[in-house]
Amino acid sequence: MTLFYSHDPGRTRAMASGIRPLNRTLFSRVPATRIEVDLDAIAANTRILKQACTPQTSLMAVVKANAYGHGAVHVARTALSHGAKWLGVARMAEAVQLKNAGIDAPVLVFGDTLPDRAVAATGHGIRISLTGPNAARAVNAAAGAARTFVTAHIKIDTGMGRLGLCPGLNMDQTLADMRSMMQMDHLKVEGIYTHFANADAVDKTHAKQQLALFTELLDRLDAENRLPKIIHAANSAATLTLPQSHFTLVRPGIALYGLCPGPGVDGSTLTPAMSIISKIAQIKPVPKGFAVSYGSTHVTDRPTVIATVPVGYADGYPRRLSDTAHMLVKGHRAKVTGRVCMDFTMIDVGHIPNVSPKDEVVVMGTQGNSTISADELADLSNTINYEITAGMTGRLPVCYRQKP
């Protein structure tokens, strides 16, 4: 198994500004706290998701939000090497990052895009989303002024209540708006798509209602010979549970990273790709009645040993995990003790034999026969697994594991 870094943005900025960077050898060692991403897991998950579809359905790897905290460029390359044909992002800056990394695959930007940026992306394999006729007119005008064309997918709101045309409110008006957008001289409408609000639920009623409305719109467009060639609706949950929603393209995100989308989905075949690894900075034998961390909210009820771990809420480790979560040391669960600090978290290791400074700590991931999952941390934080991984800040370096 090979372990390698992504890149050092600080060093790149220093070189660009003419400042001599610090000694590379000194600072190139594996850091005390880091995110480790298993690219073989990304590859395996991509293949599983591709196998859930017919050969006629392409796969878009959703790598928005820095690939949910896993690193967009490395994840994109891995997914594309194992069956993905498209990439999906939320913002134009994310698409530009992929293109600047030399990735040739088509990229769809889900969010609204300023007209001048949409025009600037022309010719680079970047598609934009159109959410209505006003946005389309603005992009069309900018493209006309630049004497070029912009390739777009029209977003349909079938029940998410977020962005897009709403056929559920007025089907005839939606069709009229689409006709108008498709007839604009400097727009090429390549695709149409919608997004499920709760395909991850056990009860698929709402998802099926959304799908029925979307299908009705597609049928109306097809009757007018206006159906775009690329049609997509399925997120991770729908890719795995609603094959009737696959159309020509599926858009898995969270499942790509080995995490289950929700209670209505069997994610047992997926492999989590992210681990968070640290090392003990200090151990401290303490007596009964010893107060730990801010607010002195935790007072030891027995003599024990407290270990300080250099990870905190500034790294994305939720403060809500104070006095509730566990980390792994020597394969044993060690409870978070006291409040999570900005840069450090304390754990109780009094029950674990022979703990010493620099011992490895698994903040999230597997050590021996024990696992701390993103789902466990999410449940304790009253949130979702998406937020745990995507919430990891840029302060933690990302290392990648991959078999040769």
Sign of CA dihedral 318, 319, 321, 327: positive
Give the tens place of pLDDT for each residue, 65-94.
Answer: 999 999 999 999 999 999 999 999 999 999
Give pLDDT, residue 10. 41
Pick the CATH number of 39-257 from 3.30.310.50, 3.20.20.10, 3.30.70.1140, 3.40.50.620: 3.20.20.10
Confidence of residue 21 (pLDDT cuts 50, 70, 90): low
For 257, phi then psi, to 5°, come to -95, 10
List, in order, residues 6 or more apart from 257 with CB less than 8 Å away. 42, 45, 67, 68, 70, 75, 272, 273, 274, 389
Of 314, 331, 333, give the one whose Cα is nearest residue 376: 333
CA distance 50 to 58: 8
DSSP at 315: G
CATH number of 274-402: 2.40.37.10
Give the tens place of pLDDT for each residue, 144-185.
Answer: 999 999 999 999 999 999 999 999 999 999 999 999 999 999
Give pLDDT, residue 404. 82
Give the tens place of pLDDT for each residue, 361-401.
Answer: 999 999 999 999 999 999 999 999 999 999 998 899 999 99
Would you say 401 and 39 are in contact if contact means Cβ atoms under 8 Å apart? yes
Query: 383: how many CB neighbours lie within 10 A of its CB?
Result: 14
Active site residue 294: yes
Give the tens place of pLDDT for each residue, 318-374.
Answer: 999 999 999 999 999 999 999 999 999 999 999 999 999 999 999 999 999 999 999
CA distance 203 to 263: 10
DSSP 63-84: -HHHHHTT-HHHHHHHHHHTT-
For the residues 259-276, what does the mean pLDDT come to?
96
Ligand-binding annotation for 127, yes or no, is no
Residue 246 has pLDDT above 90, yes or no: yes
Cβ burial, residue 289 (10 Å; 0-12/13-18/19+): exposed
Domain ranges of the chain: 39-257, 274-402
In the chain, % helix, strand, coil (3-state, to 5) comes to 35, 25, 40
Ligand-binding annotation for 162, yes or no, is yes
Q: Which residues pair with 71 in a beta bridge?
A: none
Give pLDDT, residue 393. 86
Q: Annotated catalytic residue: which of 64, 155, 204, 279?
A: 64
Of 15, 41, 283, give the one whose Cα is nearest residue 49: 41
DSSP 188-215: EEEEEEE--SSTTSS--HHHHHHHHHHH
Q: Which residues pair with 194 in a beta bridge?
A: 156
Active site residue 335: no
Q: Annotated catalytic residue: which of 85, 99, 294, 335?
A: 294
DSSP at 330: T
Instruction: State pTM to two decimals.
Output: 0.92
